[in-house]
Structure 1
Amino acid sequence: AAFAVFLAGGGWFAYAGVAAYATHLAWQIAQTREDVAPITALRLFRSNRDAGLLLFAGFFAQSLAFLF
C-alpha cells in the first residue's frame, strides 16, 4: 500500500493512513495464537473492518488536503 501511495504522489495523510493500517494488522498478528478462543478469533476477524477504515480515513484526509 505504501508503494501505491508513493506512485500516486500521496502526501502525509495517506502515509499516516498506511502506517495506521500496518500497525493494526501487526496488532492482529500479535494477538493470533494457536490456542486463541474462537470468540477472540472472531473479534480479530471482524476488526478487519477497522483496518480498512483506517486506510480509507488516511486516503480521504489526503483527498481533502489536496482540495484545500
Structure 2
Amino acid sequence: MASSAAVPFWRAAGMTYITYSNICANLVRKCLKEPYKAESMNREKVHFSLSKWADGKPQKPVLRSDAPEVF
C-alpha cells in the first residue's frame, strides 16, 4: 500500500538532502553583495592532507586546498 504522505521535492528529484543543501548554499553565496560574498566564498574552501602508506608507515603528507564543486 502506497503512503499518501507528501514526499520532499528534493527526494522526488532523486537528490539527497546534503546535495540539495549544497546547491541552495551555493546559490545564496552567489547572490550576496561584496564584501559578504568574498567572505562566504573563502569559508567554502576545503583544506585537507593526504598521506600514502608504504610498508605500514605513513609517508610525508601532502597538503591540499580545494574548493568544492560549484553547481
The bucket for the TM-score relative to the shorter chain is 0.3 to 0.5
Q: TM-score, length-normalised on structure 1?
A: 0.33
Which is bigger in relative contact order (C-alpha 8 A, separation at least 6)? 1
